[in-house]
Homo-oligomer: A and B are copies of this chain.
Amino acid sequence: MFHHVKELQFNARVSKPDPRFARLLLEQFGGPNGELKAAMQYFVQAFGCRKPYPDKYDMLMDIATEEFSHLEIVGATIQMLLTGVNGELKNAADESDLMKTLDGKAAKEDYIHDALVNPHFFLVSGGTPTLTDSNGNPWSAAYIMGMGDLTVDMRLNMAAESTAKLVYENLMKFTDDPLVKESLRYLMTREVAHFQMFQAALDSVQPNFPPGILQSDPRFSNKYFNMSKGEDFKGGWNEGPSIEMGEEWQVIEDPLQHVIETDGLLKEVAEGTDRTEQSVQRDNRALSKERKGEVDKATLPMNGEISWSTYGSESEEMADTKSNGKANSKNK
């Protein structure tokens, strides 16, 4: 269950209205890397963790709830940047006020020009935030991703925090308002903090590479196909050992010739790796069994109905029991 208090998590303020920056800031309200995306992504991922990984559930809901609170900060800032717009729209009968409002701008011409910066603020939302990005595209759940697997979801979240951090960094170049910059810097910093939380969560799952369960085929896991000819370069991605698995990169300089010679790679052989088909199968079975066991034990109903919450003192006991093994320690 969610609660709300009317105080913002951060004391967001603006020095004066600025509809242009309000449009830019929409990117973090309803954009693909913005606060709603983050909030919903972690919230949705949390459902799958509730039973098998209650420590990750706790962390995801802590961060999701903070991101909802950040969404509120961004929306409040946009609302303040649009101060005056709603009142002016209420002035539907008389145009004389257009000569004295909106931060000193006088003419109707200017007013129309402001409207073109983002017509939705003036025609549709009446001077309140719209759930779009800075180009007016409505927010879409296509932005959020979760795969029901911690080794993938934590990496998705680290990527999401990276993009959000950079958008805030970029936004700061387009305002001179020190109060707005202060809020942006706070929000930017929290993305850095969250990144590290997700990384810690990923590290607590071992092994976490490759993502998921199945091991890669040793014949193909360390091959580098030189598909773009001319001005070729070497780097850690095509020479030396691969980072996670420590296999030696093998460059295929002429992919077409190679593909023809290997009958479309069917005759490819493993090189530069100690892994074998046998070791792969063994690892697949072992990890499969372990991860399935973790999930099934916590989710499959013993007898009768499935429930989500317990209420009252019970819930405390359940939490105590569940924390064994999963969480380093319990904090109340």
Contacts and interface: CB of A to CB of B under 8 A. Distances in A.
**A-B pairs with lowest CB-CB distance, top 6:** A126-B148, A11-B264, A135-B136, A200-B236, A65-B227, A61-B228
B264 A227 contact: no
Contacts of A265: 9-11, 186
Contacts of A120: 133-135
Contact of A198 (B32, B237, B291): B237
A38 interface: no
Given A233-B331, A263-B311, A170 B79 contact: no
A172 B72 CA distance: 32
B87 A292 contact: yes
A217 to B, nearest CB: 4
A21 B124 CA distance: 15
A23 B235 contact: no
A203 B136 CA distance: 33
A94 B190 CA distance: 22
Interface string A232-244: 1111111100111
B144 A93 contact: no
A31 B84 contact: no
A16 interface: yes
B83 A24 contact: no
Interface in A208-266: 209-214, 216-217, 219-239, 242-245, 251, 253, 255-256, 259-266
A89 interface: yes
A301 interface: yes
B127 A186 contact: no
Nearest to A220: B189
Contact of A266 (B11, B171, B210): B11
B6 A228 contact: yes
A276 interface: no
Contact of A1 (B169, B172, B185, B256): B256
